[in-house]
Amino acid sequence: MENNQLTTLGLKLPSDPRWVNIAEMNIADILIDHAFCEQKAATKCITLIVKYPDCEFLVDTLSPVVTEEWGHFQAVLKEMKKRNIQLTNKRKDEYVIQLDKCKRGGGSRYDQLMEDTLVFALIEARSAERFKLLSEHISDQTLSKFYHELMIAEALHYRNFIEIAEQYNPKEKVRVRWEELLIQEAEIMKNLEVREDRFH
């Protein structure tokens, strides 16, 4: 991904260039892990709605995202069936585990909402970047088109989470915290093992 596109997503560090080549050679594992990522994305949105039911903007923003993420899960399953790939056991997502460790505890309820939504925004931004890499570099034209469409959706979801954080916290406060998390995310990416069976 070019620098200006990274800037659009806010990311400080591009994915390891080896990842997309490894992913193409292990597309079955990548699709399986991707399916679980979409399932977890829908679940996390539902969790936020349950956790903050009185935050009308959050509920209104994330309700359609739940539907869309679950639709993505079903779409990945469809691509897997075309290729006779079976869904296996859920895998541990070290990237998300490390990001969750970056969340600050304490503070107000809206501070915690900001932590939750900004971490989700990072996951969506990184997913959009990786969808773009797949759409541009894999030889399977059906999957290339599929991932291009998902890239657009994930980039919009990233903005959804930023907007939610800004709705319930001062924008400058959100901006400062976002920059801190971007630096931490880049450090995680720098040290994360490039694996053939993980989407992140």
- For residue 171, is pLDDT > 70? yes
Contact 39, 76 (CB under 8 A): no
Closest CA to 96 of 168, 136, 43: 43
Query: pTM of this prediction?
Result: 0.92
* pLDDT 10s digits, 10-32: 899 998 888 888 888 989 999 99
pLDDT score, position 8: 57
* pLDDT 10s digits, 89-115: 777 889 999 999 999 999 999 999 999
pLDDT score, position 93: 87
Neighbours of 93 (CB within 10 A): 18
Residue 35 binned pLDDT confidence (cut-offs 50, 70, 90): very high
* pLDDT 10s digits, 1-15: 444 444 457 899 998
pLDDT score, position 97: 94
- For residue 184, is pLDDT > 90? yes
pLDDT score, position 153: 87
Dist. CA 10–CA 56, nearest whole Å: 26
pLDDT score, position 155: 86
* pLDDT 10s digits, 118-134: 999 999 999 999 999 99
CA dihedral 79, 10, 60, 57 (to 10 degrees): 170
Mean pLDDT over each residue of the chain, to the nearest integer: 91
